[in-house]
Amino acid sequence: MTEAGSGTGTRTDAGTGARTDAGAGSEAAFEIAFKNIYGRAPEGIWAAPGRVNLIGEHTDYNDGYVMPFALPHRTRAAVARRDDGLLRVHSADMDGGVVELRIDDLAPGTTRGWAVYPAAVLWTLRQAGHDIAGADIHYDSNVPVGGGLSSSAALQVVTALALTELHGLDLPRQELALLCQSSENTYVGAPVGVMDQTASACCTEGHALHLDVRGLGQRQVPFDLAAQGLQLLVVDTRVKHAHADGAYGELRAGCEAAAAALGLPALRDVDFDGLDAALAALPDERLRRLTRHVVTENRRVEEVIALLDAGRTREIGPVLTAGHASLRDDFRVSCAELDLVVDTALAAGALGARMTGGGFGGSAIVLVDAGEAERISAEILRALPTARLFPTTAGPGAHRLV
């Protein structure tokens, strides 16, 4: 393997965690950028979004229910095939120039920096028997990095979609998402669930995706806030506490231990009506807390779906807030900054608020009446001036642009 540049670069903006102009320029300008880098035209341009999880947190690795929707923010990839066994990748958002990788040398643990994600996807495709000889890829993105909004999943999914379509591989979207999850688990070494990749690959505009992780059943649930005079704010706290990565593995192991103590395949199998009996059967308070969150969070997903189906969208606010309390008190994955955002928003009149993503930093979501959005946003930023706040809608999943 050879690298032109370290590939370990940093974002080029002034610290917001995303280039606000990236992914927003014309496809023609993006194509020109590719030509300037590689000396030829791309064969196509693709996009894949980040995601926000509306409700259903830390339930995915417990075989439970999740409900993400796609952000309008996206990662774009201009791609052309190669036949010489090289993968060359470049990002407008990273320092270090073009990263050049020899495909035959790819193996888990051999790739450094951000290029590990496209390398992982290509390696996983080849491991699955797909003959991909190489590619030139140029990326840009406006998905906030480090905010728990799945910038890495967007990078993986856009790479997988581009490579499979260029090589005539008609993979179903869920299979594409599973391939990306496998690449992150095996090649990158991150024990992630399948929600982020599925959201990026499978969401549709104007809908939230109800995903049953165990059976991978999907349903697109209408989620048009503007039609009901509502708005959802995303508040990226721009903090990530150092113990986040290790804590994720500990939480997952704790949930598995609780399920094993109950003699069940996963905590998803604890019936809500039998929760008290299950808690009484567990040997310690930590396992009881983890179990209580997972079981009640699955119920909250069901409650939100029922309210959205009934057109009672305003009423999901308290369910979101209850989810935050559970993540804070039972799962203990919130932090001072997330709690400050939620408490400030609610005190200012928000209909509901909660942290979203893995926790220990990252982002919160706030449901507000559209006419109150500006005032409540100002209150949040007054309380946490370093936050990055933006309104959002449910955007489209991954697709080809050109």
Contact by Cβ (8 Å): 390, 234: yes
pLDDT of residue 8: 28
All residues at 6 or more sequence positions from 276 whose CB lies less than 8 Å from its CB, including other chains = none
In angstroms, how far is CA 304 from the centroid of its own chain?
20
Closest CA to 60 of 172, 198, 171: 198
- Whether the CA torsion 343, 347, 350, 352 is positive or negative: it is positive
With CA atoms as reference, report the closest residue to 33 among 93, 122, 84.
93
Q: Are 291 and 267 spatial neighbours (Cβ–Cβ below 8 Å)? A: yes
Strand partners, 365: 234, 354
Q: pLDDT (tens digit, 9 = 90+) per residue, 153-204?
A: 999 999 999 999 999 999 999 999 999 999 999 999 988 889 999 999 999 9
User: Under a CB-based contact definition with an 8 Å cutoff, are residues 185 and 138 in contact?
Assistant: no
In angstroms, rounded to a whole number, what is the distance separating the alpha carbons of residues 201 and 175? 10
In this predicted structure, the answer to whether residue 270 has a pLDDT above a threshold of 50 is: yes
Question: Does position 15 have pLDDT exceeding 50, yes or no?
Answer: no
pLDDT of residue 242: 63
Q: Virtual CA dihedral for 189, 239, 246, 185, nearest 10 degrees?
A: -20
The angle formed by the CA atoms of residues 208, 212 and 215, to the nearest 5 degrees, is 140
Which two structure tokens, joined as six digits, stand for 257?
């231990």
> What is the layout of strands, in order, in the sheet containing 361-369?
352-356, 361-369, 230-240, 388-392
- Give the number of other Cβ atoms within 10 Å of residue 58's Cβ: 26
Three-state SS letters, 217-268 = EEEEEECCCHHHCEEEEEEEEEEECCCHHHHHHHHHHHHHHHHHHCCCCCHH
Task: Please tell me the distance from the alpha carbon of residue 209 to that of residue 31, in angstroms, as a whole number.
Answer: 32
| Tens digits of residue pLDDT in 292-334 | 999 999 999 999 999 999 999 999 999 999 999 999 999 999 9
Helix, strand, or coil (residue 31): helix
Residue 240 is predicted with a pLDDT of 86
Residue pair 195/148 in contact (Cβ under 8 Å)? The answer is no
Q: Tell me, rounded to whole angstroms, the distance of Cα 182 from its chain centroid.
A: 15
In angstroms, the CA 145 to CA 128 distance is 29
Domains of the chain (ranges; CATH) run: 27-222+396-400 (3.30.230.10), 226-392 (3.30.70.890)
Catalytic residue (choose from 93, 136, 196, 236): 196
pLDDT of residue 244: 64
From residue 336, give the alpha-carbon distance in Å to each of 193, 321, 325, 359, 360.
26, 16, 13, 11, 9
| Residue 245 is among the residues annotated as catalytic for this protein | no
User: Which carries the bigger pLDDT value, residue 144 or residue 272?
Assistant: 272
Q: Is the pLDDT assigned to residue 4 strictly greater than 90?
A: no
- For the record, the structure tokens of 134 come out as 């190489």
Confidence label for 20 from pLDDT (cuts 50, 70 and 90)? very low
Beta-carbon contacts of residue 9 (< 8 Å; ≥ 6 apart): 91, 93, 94, 95, 96, 113, 114
Calculate the dihedral angle through the C-alpha atoms of 343, 346, 352, 357, rounding to the nearest 10 degrees: -20
- Indicate if the pLDDT at residue 281 is higher than 70: yes
Predicted local distance difference test score (pLDDT) of residue 9? 31
| Concatenated DSSP letters of 326-346 | HIIIII----HHHHHHHHHHH
* pLDDT for the residue 5: 31
